[in-house]
Chains A and B, each alone.
Chain A
Amino acid sequence: MSTKTTRGKGKVSNNEEYREISPADFFYRNRDLAGFSNPTRSLYSAIRELLENSLDACELYKILPNIHIRLSLEGDTEDVKDSYTYRIRIMDNGSGIPPEHIPSSFGQILFGSKYRLRQVRGTFGLGGKMAILYGQITTNTPATIISSVGNGKSYEFLIRIDILKNKPEVLNKKVHKNKIAWHGTIVDFLLDGNYVRAMPRVLEYLRQTALVNPYAEITFIDPSGRLYKFERVTFVMPEPPKETLPHPYGCDVELIRRIISASKCTDMLTFMSTHFHRIGKKTAQRFLTYAKIKKKTNPHKLNSSEIVHIVQMMKTYGDFLPPDASCLSPLGKDLLGAGIKKELNPEFIHVEQRKPSAYSGFPFIVEVGIAYGGDIPASSGIILYRFANKIPLIYDEASDISRKVINEGINWRYYKIAPNLPIAIISHICSTKVPYMTVGKEFIADRPEIEREIKAAIKTVARYMRIFLSRKNRIEHERKRIDLFARYLPKVAKFSTELAGKKKIPDIEPLLRSIRRYGKKED
């Protein structure tokens, strides 16, 4: 029996058990993917995901964010362990969630409001729920969610996630009166982690978040009771992103199929001009002629080879207008500048925003700032702060495209920028789809279009830095020059008077003044 092998003939007995797993189950099994690999990293990821959700909840409705995070130790803390149990509580003043959506928003993986084309921090509707799921599996306790949309009532839910079914389980529900019309959300649950180890990353993350969100007020109380407050420095907020239709360059077969099934259009001309970004009647007509498709064709009757044909034509037709940037919400020169000033306190700063550009049908905008001095330490190279859709990227800097451009793409000598100057570059990429290399959202892939924009932006700010540095050098040089005269000329006068046997030292003030006048002319 054991020597018999199957040669593709006859019946093969298969004892494997095939079964479907829920998304919650999948992420429970593969939590490393979402950044919940160990107690240190998990605590950091939990704080990060919840904070980003809160910021999104405020910004989409143009509410100035006020976010409070509190982390406190729970239970026994005597023993030295790898991980401790913490209570995390985060409160925002965002739009709030309608009560009927609260359980699913926090208890069902891959459910949410973010599966649309506009610039938001979160993209998968995964992070916040993963944090709660992680808390549940490490401490076996439910999570408390309180939310109100600003009407007379607020709702409190005690939920746990049914992992196998990917469904929220409501253990308790309370309705409170909300006379002050508070709106926002509070999330409160227990989780295991190691704050002592995670602390540097958490604080760096908060600091950089404050840099790129200068209109937000973030307070954080750590387990030892220490308060970190990141103050708001401006009341101006960027325009919230508008929702947009997919651009033809970014479409694939599956997307077209979905659009068709949701569409009420009965001919290709209206179909093309209603469902795609930057396609009007004229463009639709020209495209259909190019693709050799009849205007009257009913999109619902297209077979799959015809859909494939349309997608191919979309990729090769060169005359679509590039996607516009109304779905993006960049910070802008002033806000990014304010954030940099607030966190780095630099001597000099310059910020540039590039015009919108696109890669594979996804619009993006690059914003780059450069700063000198202040709290920026002098290190052997240029310090880089990376942001994407207003999220700081902390890890894997070496693989990031901005670092690549700084290290390889630019001749710094041309800009008179030597190593070990206190210089920081802040790069911010906004896009409806940031091309992260991994699910961990830590670094951005080498897209030639993005690389080109980053390079151009860095070159522009570097030019301003060169002007600043040479001016600074000139002033420094001038000051040294005047100091040198002021130091030595009186001595020449004194010694020569002594040597000549005279009593009265000649007045050298006019000479020193002439040096100064001359100095000013040079400027």
Chain B
Amino acid sequence: MAKKRIKRQSSKKKRIKRQSSKKKRIKRQSMKKRKEMTLKKLRSFGGVLYNQLNKGEFPWIEMPSRSTSNILYDDRLKQYILGKKHVKRSSRNIRHIRPVTQLVWTASFAYTLNKQGKTSTLRDIFYSAQAFDVPFKNQQESDNIITDLETVLGFAREDFNIFPEERSQIFGDLTIEYTVPGYEGNSLNLTTHPDGLAIGPALTTSDFKSTKANKIIVIEKGAMFTRLIEEKAFKKFKAILIHTAGQPPRSTRRIIRRLNKELGLPVYIFCDGDPWGMAIAITIICGSANAAHLKELATPEAKWMGLYSSDIQKYKLPSTKLKVIDIKRLRDMRKDPRYIAKPWKTQITHFLQNKRKCELEAFSRYGLDYVVKKYLPEKLNRL
């Protein structure tokens, strides 16, 4: 066991060293470049429609279909992707004229946002549209149009500064540098505030400058997140802690992916021991069907750390009986291609046999520091 740990650490050190030389330069460029690319894409989208109009055509748009039949699981990428089917939206069609107008408006609104370096939320978009007399029936409709724009451009809405309401947090030894107007060049260490910092637009768009951490632990529940900060787990395990508050928002998934890709840090996901916890983990790893049109949200290298069904037995954690709906969900998961690999398949079977589930808070049964002293070291070692 000891051998293994040394080996791991050394390899990690190497990796960080290898990357740290390029890190700063590349990263700084990447955020700026990305912004420019986004703006260019938006402009050229406008250009396409403009040219169609100039030729006397009804403007039309073609994009990959997001219908269920066109959402496929890519074994190589280990995530959902869109298939070859395309849909055409033409303003010639009475049913499409409204969505096309909404799409163009959203694009022009996003362009202005980006130009001015401002951000907006999904809810904002819904209301802003009314000022331009392109009303949406409800937020669902406006959210849908934003997803269309993502599909057309191949960029996530966070790239054109449209964010959902934030609720997840980050804490750990990571120094970032803001790129948002008014804060450009300011840097901040994410251990500054003991409650953690909200993963909002400013944080999502900032560059990573330096870190002493060597791993990322993603936590489903706020109580466990706070516990790990209080017990100084971030120091002990050299970890950046991320709190997802249930299903992680897409900006959080982006951050996880960037930390993994740009800093080369391994990601461990720590959720409730039930099918819903597993679903959170798999969304971080493989992405969701809803975001099949986007490639930069998933972190295929991330690992599901727990709680396993076998952990419940092994650590004698207080547990409750699985409900009918839990069992139904587990049965569905058996057919899902994302759960075919090792820990998933065996754990699903284990859940169905053991018929118990357990929340992260259950560790408190053995004292507040039990999870840090006993469970996490053992678990991290084994992975």
CB under 8 Å from chain A, chain B span 107-122: 107-108, 111
Find A495's partner among B43, B54, B56, B108 (CB 8 Å cutoff).
B108
Name which of B95-103, B199-207, B298-306 contacts chain A: B95-103
Chain A residues within 8 Å of B49, by CB: 492, 496, 499-500
**Binary interface profile of A, 46-68, with partner B (CB < 8 Å = 1, else 0)?**
00000000000000000000000
CB under 8 Å from chain B, chain A span 483-523: 484-485, 488-489, 491-493, 495-502, 506, 508, 510-511
Give chain A nearest CB distance to B20 CB in angstroms.
40
Q: Does A286 contact B (CB under 8 A)?
A: no
Q: Does A242 contact B (CB under 8 A)?
A: no
Q: A506-B53, A508-B53, A511-B56 are in contact. Are A495 and B94 (CB under 8 A)?
A: no
Provide the bound-state CA to CA distance between A480 and B38, in Å: 37
Are A491 and B104 neighbours in the complex by a CB distance under 8 Å? yes
Are B46 and A496 neighbours in the complex by a CB distance under 8 Å? yes
**Binary interface profile of A, 467-488, with partner B (CB < 8 Å = 1, else 0)?**
0000000000000010011001
Are B42 and A499 neighbours in the complex by a CB distance under 8 Å? yes
Chain B residues within 8 Å of A492, by CB: 49, 53, 59, 91, 97, 100-101, 104
Are B94 and A496 neighbours in the complex by a CB distance under 8 Å? no
Are B91 and A499 neighbours in the complex by a CB distance under 8 Å? no
Give chain B nearest CB distance to A384 CB in angstroms.
38
Chain B residues within 8 Å of A481, by CB: 94
Are A484 and B45 neighbours in the complex by a CB distance under 8 Å? no
Provide the bound-state CA to CA distance between A499 and B91, in Å: 17
Are A500 and B43 neighbours in the complex by a CB distance under 8 Å? yes
Find A491's partner among B42, B54, B134 (CB 8 Å cutoff).
B134
Q: Which A residue's beta carbon lies closest to that of B107?
A: A499
Find A489's partner among B97, B107, B108 (CB 8 Å cutoff).
B97
Q: Does B366 contact A (CB under 8 A)?
A: no
Chain B residues within 8 Å of A499, by CB: 42-43, 45-47, 49-50, 104, 107-108, 111
Provide the bound-state CA to CA distance between A497 and B104, in Å: 10
Chain A residues within 8 Å of B42, by CB: 499
Q: A495-B105, A496-B104, A511-B53 are in contact. List 7 more A-B contacts (CB 8 A).
A: A488-B91, A492-B49, A496-B50, A499-B107, A499-B108, A508-B53, A511-B58
Provide the bound-state CA to CA distance between A510 and B54, in Å: 11
B side interface size, CB within 8 A = 26
Provide the bound-state CA to CA distance between A367 and B53, in Å: 58
**Binary interface profile of B, 20-56, with partner A (CB < 8 Å = 1, else 0)?**
0000000000000000000000110111011001101
- Between A485, A488, A499, A500, the greatest number of chain B beta carbons within 10 A of the residue's beta carbon is seen for A499
Q: Which A residue's beta carbon lies closest to that of B134?
A: A491
Chain A residues within 8 Å of B133, by CB: 491
For the A-B complex, the count of residue pairs with Cβ-Cβ distances under 8 Å equals: 76
Q: A495-B105, A496-B59, A506-B50 are in contact. Are A489 and B98 (CB under 8 A)?
A: no
Give chain B nearest CB distance to A505 CB in angstroms.
8
Are B94 and A498 neighbours in the complex by a CB distance under 8 Å? no
**Binary interface profile of B, 69-112, with partner A (CB < 8 Å = 1, else 0)?**
00000000000000000000001001001101100110110010
Chain B residues within 8 Å of A500, by CB: 43, 46-47, 49-50
Q: A496-B53, A499-B107 are in contact. Are A488 and B43 (CB under 8 A)?
A: no
Provide the bound-state CA to CA distance between A497 and B59, in Å: 12
Are B43 and A501 neighbours in the complex by a CB distance under 8 Å? yes
Q: A484-B97, A499-B45, A500-B46 are in contact. Are A493 and B107 (CB under 8 A)?
A: no
Give chain A nearest CB distance to B59 CB in angstroms.
6
Chain A residues within 8 Å of B53, by CB: 492-493, 496, 506, 508, 511
Chain B residues within 8 Å of A498, by CB: 46, 108, 111
**Binary interface profile of A, 313-331, with partner B (CB < 8 Å = 1, else 0)?**
0000000000000000000
Provide a sorted-by-A list of 9 A–B residue pairs whose CB atoms are within 8 angstroms. A488-B98, A488-B101, A488-B134, A489-B97, A491-B105, A491-B134, A495-B46, A495-B107, A496-B59
Chain A residues within 8 Å of B50, by CB: 496-497, 499-500, 502, 506
Chain A residues within 8 Å of B94, by CB: 481, 484-485
**Is the interface on chain A under 10, 10 to 19, 20 to 34, or 35 or more residues?**
20 to 34
Provide the bound-state CA to CA distance between A502 and B59, in Å: 16
Provide the bound-state CA to CA distance between A500 and B97, in Å: 19
- Between B50, B54, B104, B132, the greatest number of chain A beta carbons within 10 A of the residue's beta carbon is seen for B50
Provide the bound-state CA to CA distance between A510 and B98, in Å: 19
Provide the bound-state CA to CA distance between A488 and B134, in Å: 8
Give chain B nearest CB distance to A514 CB in angstroms.
9
Provide the bound-state CA to CA distance between A97 and B145, in Å: 83
Chain A residues within 8 Å of B91, by CB: 488-489, 492
Provide the bound-state CA to CA distance between A485 and B54, in Å: 17
Chain B residues within 8 Å of A495, by CB: 46, 101, 104-105, 107-108
Q: Which A residue's beta carbon lies closest to that of B46?
A: A499
**Binary interface profile of A, 439-460, with partner B (CB < 8 Å = 1, else 0)?**
0000000000000000000000
Provide the bound-state CA to CA distance between A302 and B108, in Å: 105
Q: A491-B133, A495-B105 are in contact. Are A510 and B47 (CB under 8 A)?
A: no
Chain A residues within 8 Å of B45, by CB: 499
Provide the bound-state CA to CA distance between A52 and B223, in Å: 90
Give chain B nearest CB distance to A511 CB in angstroms.
6
Which 7 residue pairs spanning A and B have beta carbons closest together? Answer: A499-B46, A496-B49, A500-B46, A506-B53, A500-B50, A500-B47, A488-B101
Chain A residues within 8 Å of B59, by CB: 492, 496
Q: Which A residue's beta carbon lies closest to that of B96?
A: A488
Provide the bound-state CA to CA distance between A496 and B42, in Å: 10
Chain B residues within 8 Å of A491, by CB: 101, 104-105, 132-134
Find A485's partner among B97, B105, B107, B132 (CB 8 Å cutoff).
B97
Provide the bound-state CA to CA distance between A481 and B93, in Å: 10
Provide the bound-state CA to CA distance between A510 and B53, in Å: 10
Provide the bound-state CA to CA distance between A378 and B42, in Å: 50
Give chain B nearest CB distance to A486 CB in angstroms.
10
Give chain B nearest CB distance to A522 CB in angstroms.
12
Q: A493-B53, A506-B53, A511-B56 are in contact. Are A484 and B98 (CB under 8 A)?
A: yes
Give chain A nearest CB distance to B161 CB in angstroms.
15
- Between A489, A497, A500, A501, the greatest number of chain B beta carbons within 10 A of the residue's beta carbon is seen for A500
Provide the bound-state CA to CA distance between A500 and B91, in Å: 18
Provide the bound-state CA to CA distance between A481 and B94, in Å: 7
